[in-house]
Amino acid sequence: MQKDGEIVIAQWIWPFLGKVFVNFRHFEVQIKSSKMAFDEVRPVCVAQGDSRGHAHLFQRNQEMTKRILFVLTSHDRKGPTEAADAAPSGFYLSEVTHPHKVFTEAGFSVDFVSPKGGKTHVDGLELGDAINAAFWHDPERRVATENTLAPSEVDPDAYAAIFYAGGHVTMWDFPDSTELAAIAARIYERGGVVSAVCHGPAGLVNLKLANGSYLVAGKEVSAFTNEEERAVGLYDTVPFLLADVLAERGAKHLPGANFQAQVVVSERLVTGQNPASAKGVAAAVLSLLSSDSDGWK
């Protein structure tokens, strides 16, 4: 025979246990759903040498958002700041507009950051390109490129990927931006994607991971080639040869034909050789992210 106190406890505890059981079942279902996503992604990671497996992808699956961080150069000339006679330049427009279209049409939001924050400058202003024209004549998008975030304003944990847009002048400010390198390393080590096109990989040459190794070490990469530098007459103008320095950092540079699309995917690093590769880089990034699409919020 139950005492009055036991009846009261029973009346209280059973509904509580029922809720616990329901929540546990919900959690179990969630785990099974996540595991399906893991199994779809894991072969890519394993094939490319990522040994962190399910636990790492669980963090990626649960915490990232559908946002891409675009990095634009703050530099404004093809030469050092003090070179008053250097040709004016900036980020290369189609290397922003074409990837931007790919990402936004896939439902990702894009934010812009630059080494100094604020105003940027543009090169390759070819408005006969319909995608360039649509972007350039959109006040909201154009203003976003002219009022970029400073690195100190960026939360790396808010982004699924980072994309370094090119333009020759990135060679003068991307390599020494330790803040941007730290942001990219954080995104990568959380399971996100690092990507760059043309001269954008200048942002990768000094990018190190937490273990002190260069991100590009042991990976295959694509970037503007020495032959392309000669072809455009800037072989002796740029402060260093991008393909050579990437190789010095331990990367295997895979050159394609001059000015033809060349996109290389190595683990979660996606790089492209020139403007013709910009759209393909974005598509390859999306392919990596879409394999874990259930995790993006």
Q: What is the 3-state secondary structure (H, E, C) of the chain?
A: CCCHHHHHHHHHHHHHHHHHHHHHHHHHHHHHHHHHHHHHHHHHHHHCCCCCHHHHHHHHHHHCCCEEEEECCCCCECCCCCCCCCCECCEECHHHHHHHHHHHHCCCEEEEECCCCECCCEECCCCCCHHHHHHHCCHHHHHHHHCEECHHHCCHHHCCEEEECCCCCHHHHCCCCHHHHHHHHHHHHCCCEEEEECCHHHHHCCCECCCCCECCCCCEECCCCHHHHHHCCCCCCCCCCHHHHHHHCCCEECCCCCCCCCEEEECCEEEECCHHHHHHHHHHHHHHHHCCHHHCC
Which candidate, 191, 171, 4, places its Cα nearest to that of 74?
171
267 is catalytic: no
Given 100, 121, 168, 199, which residue is catalytic? 199
Given 75, 121, 168, 198, which residue is catalytic? 198
168 is catalytic: no
Q: How far apart are the first and last CA of the chain?
A: 53
What are the distances in angstroms from CA 183 to CA 144, 157, 258, 267? 19, 9, 31, 18
28 is catalytic: no
Given 95, 228, 229, 267, which residue is catalytic? 229
Cite the active site residues: 198-199, 229
